[in-house]
Amino acid sequence: MIKDYRPYYIKKIWYRFLHFYIRHKLSPQLKSLGKNPFIVKPWHIEIFGGPVSIGNNITLLGCSDKKTRLTVWSDKKDIRGIIIGDHVLISPGVRISAANHILIADSCMLASHVYITDSDWHGIYDRSMPSKEVSCVILEENVWVGDSAIICKGVTIGKNSIIGAGSVVTCDIPANVIAVGNPAKIIKKLDPDQSIITRKDRFSDTDDLKVTRNLKVTSKMTHLLESAEKENLQNNTLFGWIRSLIFPKKEI
Residue 65: CB atoms within 10 A of its CB come to: 7
Q: Which positions ≥6 away from 160 have C-beta within 8 Å?
A: 141, 142, 143, 175, 176, 190, 196
Q: Which of 24, 44, 87, 101 is catalytic?
A: 101
User: Nearest CA to 9 among 234, 249, 242, 186?
Assistant: 234
Instruction: Respond yes or no: is residue 101 known to be catalytic.
Output: yes
Write out the DSSP string of 25-38: IIGGGSSEE-SS-E
Using DSSP bridges, classify how beta strands 177-180 and 185-189 pair: parallel, antiparallel or unpaired: antiparallel
Indicate the DSSP class of residue 23: I
DSSP strand E in the chain: where?
Answer: 32-33, 38-40, 45-48, 52-54, 59-61, 68-72, 81-84, 89-90, 95-98, 101-104, 109-110, 115-117, 136-139, 144-145, 150-151, 156-157, 162-163, 168-169, 177-180, 185-189
Task: Report the candidate in 130, 128, 150, 151 with the shortest Cα–Cα distance to residue 139.
Answer: 151
Residues 218 and 224: their CA atoms lie apart, in Å, by 10
What CA–CA distance (Å, rounded) separates 83 from 67?
Answer: 19
The vertex-37 CA angle with 144 and 165, nearest 5°, equals 20
- Annotated catalytic residues are 101
